[in-house]
């Protein structure tokens, strides 16, 4: 299984690159990479805005994680769907993919292991935090063709809303709180 971290956006609502923010001594990008490697054998990071700084983080971590790579999303301004499409094209079609965002500080290794424990060859596993569906999302290789024409600002929400029979929801009691606006940064003490 391959981890796919979407970290290409400019974080316009926050006003600064969220992937570079430091939480508990690590950038949100590094934290996401480490979480991905807790359950994945390889990880691909989609980069766009702040490419130079994020590449440095990745290069430093490649010493510890040689199966860490990145792909540049040329049209990252188009949105999360563009990053998802570029990232999925960069990963062998015969592999399941665990999609993760880099702005979810509440995620732990336990969340990742619980998601992976439900792996199903025919259904996506979608995390839900107190009723809010969000990545991490595990996409089995059988469903990868459904994303072949993904683009623009279509996040994964469109997928699970349009294909509920292809998804299994894993419910967590944790409150969903990402880092999207300055108030979120204050909430997390970042």
Please answer whether residues 132 and 180 qualify as being in contact, where contact means their C-beta atoms are separated by less than 8 angstroms: no
Please state the pTM of the whole predicted model.
0.92
How would residue 46 be classed by pLDDT, with cut points 50, 70 and 90? very high
Please state at what angle helix 109-117 crosses helix 28-37, rounded to 10 degrees: 40
Per-residue pLDDT at 151 exceeds 90: no
Nearest to 1 by CA among 104, 91, 107, 128: 91
Cβ-contact 50, 19 below 8 angstroms: yes
Predicted confidence (pLDDT) per residue in 103-149, tens digit = 898 999 999 999 999 999 999 999 999 999 999 999 999 999 988 77
Q: Taking CA 70 as the corner, what is the angle to CA 69 and CA 76, rounded to the nearest 5 degrees?
A: 170
Per-residue confidence at 168, pLDDT binned at 50, 70, 90? very high
Residue 171 vs residues 114, 121, 159: alpha-carbon distances, Å: 10, 20, 18
pLDDT in tens, 158-167: 889 999 999 9
Q: Is the per-residue pLDDT at 79 higher than 80?
A: no
| pLDDT for the residue numbered 92 | 94
């Amino acid at each position: 299984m391959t981890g796919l971290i979407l970290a290409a956006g400019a974080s316009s609502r926050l006003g600064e690159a969220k992937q570079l923010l430091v939480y508990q001594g690590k950038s949100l990008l590094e934290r996401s990479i480490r979480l991905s490697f807790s359950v994945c054998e390889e990880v691909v990071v989609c980069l766009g805005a702040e490419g130079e700084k994020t590449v440095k983080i990745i290069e430093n971590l490649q010493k510890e994680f040689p199966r860490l790579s990145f792909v540049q999303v040329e049209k990252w301004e188009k949105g999360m769907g563009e990053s998802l499409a570029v990232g999925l094209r960069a990963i062998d079609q015969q592999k399941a993919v665990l999609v993760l965002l880099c702005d979810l500080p509440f995620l732990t290794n336990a969340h990742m292991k619980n998601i992976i424990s439900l792996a199903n060859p025919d259904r996506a596993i979608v995390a839900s935090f107190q009723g809010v569906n969000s990545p991490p999302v595990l996409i089995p290789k059988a469903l990868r063709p459904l994303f072949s024409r993904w683009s623009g600002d279509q996040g994964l929400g469109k997928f699970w809303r349009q294909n509920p029979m292809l998804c299994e929801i894993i419910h967590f009691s944790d409150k969903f709180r990402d880092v999207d606006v300055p108030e979120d940064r204050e909430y997390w003490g970042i």
